[in-house]
Amino acid sequence: MEAAYKQYYKQGLAIIGVDVTQDQEPTARAFVKKDKLTFPVGHDTSGEIISLYAVQAVPTIILVDKTGKLVERHVGELTKPELRQRMDALLK
């Protein structure tokens, strides 16, 4: 994800990381630090976003296009090529 972010940032990619762990903020912070994540990452403390997007498993990846429309909902990891393919198609 971090690599994709660096590669596509200039073309208009934004990544928002939502940590769904309810009560382990220190772990999450350490994780962000360790992996040197540069995209915005936050904590869904109230669980509001989780229920808004009906997230039932992690990771869940949601793609929102430039007009704010939800274009894909993916449950599970995306491999680098899978991610690239989507970025290339949606950033055209």
Partner 1 sequence: MQDVQTVVDKLFLIVSIVGTLFVLTEMVLRYFRKSICSAVGCKLVARYARFGDISILLIGFVTFSLLIACTIMSSYFNKTAFGEYVNLILIVSLACEGYFAGFQAFRVHKPCMFCLTVFAFIVTLSLLRLLQGEREIIAGFAAMAGVFSLCYLILPVESTVRIEGHPAVPAVGQPAPEFDLTLFSGQKVALKDFLGKLVVIIFWSSG
Structure tokens at 15: 């990544």
The number of residues that bind partner 1 (CB under 8 A) is 53
Residue 88 engages partner 1 in binding (rule: CB under 8 A): no
Site string for partner 1, 19-58 (x = CB under 8 A): xxx--xx-xxxxxx-------xxxxxx--xxxxxxxx--x
In whole angstroms, the minimum distance from the beta carbon of 48 to partner 1 comes to: 7
Enclosing H/E stretch for 60 = strand 60-64
Residue 12 engages partner 1 in binding (rule: CB under 8 A): yes
Cβ atoms < 10 Å from Cβ of 60: 16
> 12: helix, coil or strand?
coil
